[in-house]
Structure 1
Amino acid sequence: MPTAAPTAYFDRAHTDDLISYLAASPSPYHAVASATERLEKAGFRQVAETEAWDGRAGGRFVVRGGALIAWYVPEGAGPETPFRIVGAHTDSPTLRVKPRPDTGSEGWRQIAVEIYGGVPLNTWLDRDLGISGRLALRGGSTVLVHLDEPLLRVPQLAIHLDRQVNDGLKLDRQRHLTPIWGIGPVEEGALLDHVAGHAGVAASDIIGWDLMVHDVQPPSYLGRDRELLASARLDNLLSVHAGTAALSAVAAAGGGSRIPVLAAFDHEETGSESDTGAQGPLLGNVLERSVLSRGGSPEDRARALAGTICLSADMGHAVHPNYSERHEPGHHPVPNGGPILKTNVNQRYATDAIGRAVFTDACERAGVPWQNFVSNNAMPCGTTIGPITAARLGITTVDCGVAALSMHSSRELCGADDPFLLASALKGFLEG
């Protein structure tokens, strides 16, 4: 059964660092850059996929766009040594800039956007938005951009012009979600000129971009006792940060009896089907090359994967006090109750009895509480990279996470102690 929460966990140093990480990571590309900065401080080094790898002990990581795979080879690890993998994702639902961004009507200058992922549309109304992402330049280089200032806004229609708005707001995804950013005639190339100026590059050198909007309100503690955390992108940068902290801590202690891995994928919110998503070959390729670089064979790879376990960490639902009937009656996760073990017998989550035992053991050895989560039978259940990873690699996989309110909103809410509790459980898991 779940254990009681130790009082020592009310030290908020981990959550303070999470707040810094969230503020610095408005896009998947920034999330990866912020995580690798922490890994490099922990002694990890980047390796290129186009170069030969060596099998020496130590920490390494691979970056591809908005995805990151990091691992630590302990002294004495053989080619058949199994992996312990923490899986997460770097992307969040948002509004992304279209290829021809400059648009407008009725004397307003606007930016054309495309909806990315499962977005509760109303949560993006009347919020001050910045722009972030990456620019592809002539010559093959890329540069990150982070305009963290009130630049755009999706204005809601005044109640005087929609008297029935409180009986049910209906938003057209094409017509009603176009942000404004000024007044006057449409200026072709205006957005890229503005972004280029902030990035310190010439607009004429920009030949591609992946840009998106983000809420510029910073992450913050919330409540009388500061026991809650409010922020954008908790889903799922909270888990990426926890996995990075856990991997760094395990590496500092020598790596444990397995090879600890962090796999932070992109495009989970749109199905994971990309070269940087969990449906792609990136993780499998990295694991195979790690085995081969240590003198292994295909047989050694098969032996290593047979003993490998993945813990998929993603946000889940805390019981909502105003909609408790939407939750499964016997499973009501609460903030600061510790990480949740996510189960779905239809394989929307990958947890089974063996996985449950692995997760329980990790939490007990870390001394952290944990909770069960299962969906109401009358409600569709979301999914994660867990079942995808289990099916693609044929490895035991467990789904867990942190309970939150306002999932996929432009601003989400969780317990302020849960990030550290999750990181502690992940550390216990990676230690083997």
Structure 2
Amino acid sequence: MPASSTDAYITDFAEFVQASPSSYHAAAEVARRLEAAGFARLDERDEWPAGGRHVVVRDGAVIAWAAPEGAGPATPYRIVGAHTDSPSFKLKPRATSSSEGLLQAGVEVYGGPLLNSWLDRELELAGRIVTDDGGEHLVRTGPMLRIPQLAIHLDREVNKGLTLDKQRHLQPIWGAGGDGEILGELAASAGVPAEHVVGHDVLVADTQAPARFGLDGALFASGRMDNLSSVYAGLMALLGAPNDAEHISVLAAFDHEELGSESRSGASGPFLDDVLVRIGAGLGAGDVERRRAFAASWVVSSDAGHAVHPNYPDRHDPANRPVLGGGPLLKLNANQRYASDAAGAGFWAAVCRQAGVPSQPFVSNNSIPCGTTIGPLTATRLGIRTVDVGVPLLSMHSARELAHVDDLAALGAAMAAFLTPEV
């Protein structure tokens, strides 16, 4: 991509990340941008119109689609799949405690974060609260918390190996003295009385802004690139989806992937199937037409993958060595932890060729267990051909991950080509 295009992509992506400190904020930001571009927001409790461009939010997940003019009951789908959540810490029900004159927040580990990366950083709380009238309110506090590391003078052996107890060592501090309540701070950020708050889904997020750095500004550091990098690429592609395509373009950004996806808004839940059934029904599809449409459809499951770490080269496959700046990954696994197969590899190669971007294969070292994505889950639930891809990262699951700007922009170009095919 031209440098100017990459610069614009990275600048806007950074703004998207900053607007998305939680899965709930990410889903809301996707919906906000789509509505500003003319997509109509739908409620699952209402009847839906046939065709058109629409978006629906379910908790921290969002699905949006653009049906072309002339779409019919057997029109196939092209679906970008991603997830909105990232490893972090979640606020416990009784969230405030005090010790040694300091106010602390009670948190529970969410997913699999690199725990040490969250130490000594200015953190915020972000998510949603529910009030006794049934209302849901997005909340974020801005810089408010910190998990201070023990000074080396009190642990002289710490540089030989840091061990963190998840219960004792990771409770953030947020005040000195006083009798404050975290829920009161959250309620105030939403402009509601604290006594009306009856529930919350609130997580911890790093507040440091994304930044370009390094030679020629080629490196990009940010929180939550796993997996907002894919959500953003799919969003931009959907915004540019043509009205005369021969498929229905879909972005499906699920929640709870970092926990295994088993929820009403996760990829193992019914959300995508619910939406596709209703889209098809609006176009006159019965069960047979729906299955015909699925048989001609594709899912690109996009989630971040690992670049070779120069300080730990032995942790990677000796022959397949994806690098930062080498292009998006095609993710492969013999045990179907990723859904890619030979047909998917050929399809992804054609997409990248159309986009004019490189691609590189990723496969795990046999001695190190492979992670998984929403790809196999979606393929299993729907039977749609699926290929797993994503940007290469260093420091995955850190509070602050590392990517190459060219890879981020190339993923966006590939997603645009996927939803605007030449073949």
Q: TM-score of the superposition, structure 2-length normalised?
A: 0.97
Cα distance in 1 for residues equivalent to 2:195 and 2:293: 49
| Residue equivalent to 1:105 | 99
1:104 Cα shift? 2.3
| Residue equivalent to 1:91 | 85
Do the aligned residues in 2 keep the contact of 1:9 with 1:417 (CA within 8 Å)?
no
Percent identity reads: 53
Do the aligned residues in 2 keep the contact of 1:9 with 1:421 (CA within 8 Å)?
no
| Residue equivalent to 1:398 | 387
1:106 Cα shift? 2.1
SS in 2 for 1:152: coil
1:255 Cα shift? 5.0
Cα distance in 2 for residues equivalent to 1:424 and 1:43: 22
Which residue, 197, 201, 206 being the options, matches 2:192? 201
SS in 1 for 2:134: coil
Does the C-alpha gap of structure 1 residues 254 and 8 become closer, same or farther in structure 2, counting only changes over 3 Å? farther
1:107 Cα shift? 2.1
Does the C-alpha gap of structure 1 residues 8 and 163 become closer, same or farther in structure 2, counting only changes over 3 Å? closer
Which residue, 15, 24, 39 being the options, matches 2:19? 24
Q: What's the C-alpha RMSD, in Å, of the aligned pairs?
A: 1.3
| Residue equivalent to 1:178 | 171
Query: In the TM superposition, what are the counterparts of 1:130-169 in structure 2 within 5 Å?
Result: 130-149=124-143, 151-169=144-162
1:313 Cα shift? 0.4
SS in 2 for 1:53: coil
| Residue equivalent to 2:44 | 49
Q: Does residue 232 of the first structure (1) align with residue 232 of the second (2)? A: no
Query: In the TM superposition, what are the counterparts of 1:241-320 in structure 2 within 5 Å?
Result: 241-250=232-241, 253-320=242-309
| Residue equivalent to 2:120 | 126
| Residue equivalent to 1:362 | 351
Corresponding letter in the other structure for 2:72: G
Cα distance in 2 for residues equivalent to 1:136 and 1:33: 16
1:133 Cα shift? 0.8
Deviation track 1:199-244 (CA, whole Å, cap 9, x = no partner) reads 2111111111111111111111121321011000000001100000
Corresponding letter in the other structure for 1:319: V
Q: Does residue 76 of the first structure (1) align with residue 67 of the second (2)? A: no
Count of residue pairs the alignment pairs up = 421
| Residue equivalent to 1:431 | 420
Deviation track 1:289-327 (CA, whole Å, cap 9, x = no partner) reads 111111111111111111111000000011111111111
Cα distance in 2 for residues equivalent to 1:28 and 1:130: 14
Which residue, 17, 30, 47 being the options, matches 1:35? 30
Poorly superposed stretches of 4+, deviation over 2 Å: 6-11
Deviation track 1:160-219 (CA, whole Å, cap 9, x = no partner) reads 11111111111111111001112226x3x7111122222211111111111111111111
Cα distance in 2 for residues equivalent to 1:258 and 1:204: 49
1:431 Cα shift? 2.3
Corresponding letter in the other structure for 1:106: E
| Residue equivalent to 2:205 | 214
Do the aligned residues in 1 keep the contact of 2:50 with 2:283 (CA within 8 Å)?
yes
Which residue, 50, 54, 57 being the options, matches 1:60? 54
Q: Return 5+ residue gaps in structure 1 as ranges.
A: 1-5
SS in 2 for 1:148: coil
Q: TM-score of the superposition, structure 1-length normalised?
A: 0.95
Cα distance in 2 for residues equivalent to 1:311 and 1:132: 29
Corresponding letter in the other structure for 2:380: A
Deviation track 1:96-136 (CA, whole Å, cap 9, x = no partner) reads 11000011222221110000001111111111111111111
Deviation track 1:231-287 (CA, whole Å, cap 9, x = no partner) reads 00000001100000001111xx31521111000000000000000000001101110
Cα distance in 2 for residues equivalent to 1:217 and 1:11: 22
Does the C-alpha gap of structure 1 residues 10 and 247 become closer, same or farther in structure 2, counting only changes over 3 Å? closer
Cα distance in 2 for residues equivalent to 1:37 and 1:191: 28
Corresponding letter in the other structure for 1:210: D
Cα distance in 2 for residues equivalent to 1:379 and 1:178: 31
| Segment of structure 1 superposing worse, 264-273 or 409-418 | 409-418
Q: Does residue 13 of the first structure (1) align with residue 29 of the second (2)? A: no
Cα distance in 2 for residues equivalent to 1:255 and 1:99: 50
Do the aligned residues in 1 keep the contact of 2:40 with 2:55 (CA within 8 Å)?
yes
Deviation track 1:42-90 (CA, whole Å, cap 9, x = no partner) reads 221111111111213x211110110001111101111111101000000
